[in-house]
A and B are shown apart, each in its own frame.
Chain A
Amino acid sequence: SQQGEEDPQALSIQEGENATMNCSYKTSINNLQWYRQNSGRGLVHLILIRSNEREKHSGRLRVTLDTSKKSSSLLITASRAADTASYFCATVPVSNTNAGKSTFGDGTTLTVKP
């Protein structure tokens, strides 16, 4: 079964609003990564947060990690139409430090209306 599960499955907002999506996972992790996938393209890495970090920022992106609740959230502030994409979380378990064995969730599809 998938390690990570995103919530909500779909999110539709107006340009300028903030978008928040959540990821829950089941086992202890080494790190958690967020990726974006535009329609018909491969995944693009956005941000990585290690298990000993609680919050990380990158431009308009803010990621939090709560290891006690086994959950993470991705906040996109001041959204733009170009942010329309699917967003996936991926986890690397403590038992396996090989990034190639990341486990992906089913994603959140974000639509930003102009």
Chain B
Amino acid sequence: NAGVTQTPKFQVLKTGQSMTLQCAQDMNHEYMSWYRQDPGMGLRLIHYSVGAGITDQGEVPNGYNVSRSTTEDFPLRLLSAAPSQTSVYFCASSYGQGNQPQHFGDGTRLSIL
């Protein structure tokens, strides 16, 4: 199984550009999340989804949009990129509620110039 797949692995944008980070999982997990990780820090939750058609905001949602039209895919959209959004973005999925481990992709390294 591929697990959680994120594309692209690297991206450089100019301030004001928009783009979509892709995330797909093949484990039929209901729960999917997007995190950002800044240097030397842990992960901060951007948005999450508990199933197709259902999304909610995390700790740092401003400047990002998500949608969940299928169980497998959970894209993250940057509406108008800003240098403060330079970070490594991780997508994760999990099965069921509460006491289940999250499975992570290898991340997208995004630089905003």
Chain A residues with CB under 8 Å of chain B are 2, 4, 30-31, 33, 40-45, 48, 50, 88, 90, 92, 97-107
Contact = CB atoms under 8 A, between A and B. Distances in A.
Contacts of B44: 104
Interface in B40-64: 40-45, 48-50, 58-59
A97 B102 contact: no
Contacts of B41: 106-107
B97 A97 contact: yes
8 contacts: A42-B107, A92-B98, A98-B48, A99-B31, A100-B50, A100-B102, A101-B45, A106-B41
A30 B92 CA distance: 19
User: Could you say which of A50, A101, A107 has the most chain B C-beta atoms within 10 Å of its C-beta?
Assistant: A101
B42 A88 contact: yes
A48 B97 CA distance: 14
Given A100-B32, A105-B42, A42 B106 contact: yes
Q: What range describes how many residues of B lie at the interface?
A: 20 to 34
Contacts of A42: 4, 90, 92, 104-107
B84 interface: no
B1 interface: no
Contacts of B25: none
Given A42-B4, A42-B104, A42-B106, A98 B42 contact: no
Contacts of B94: 99-100
Contacts of B8: none
B103 interface: yes
A100 B31 contact: yes
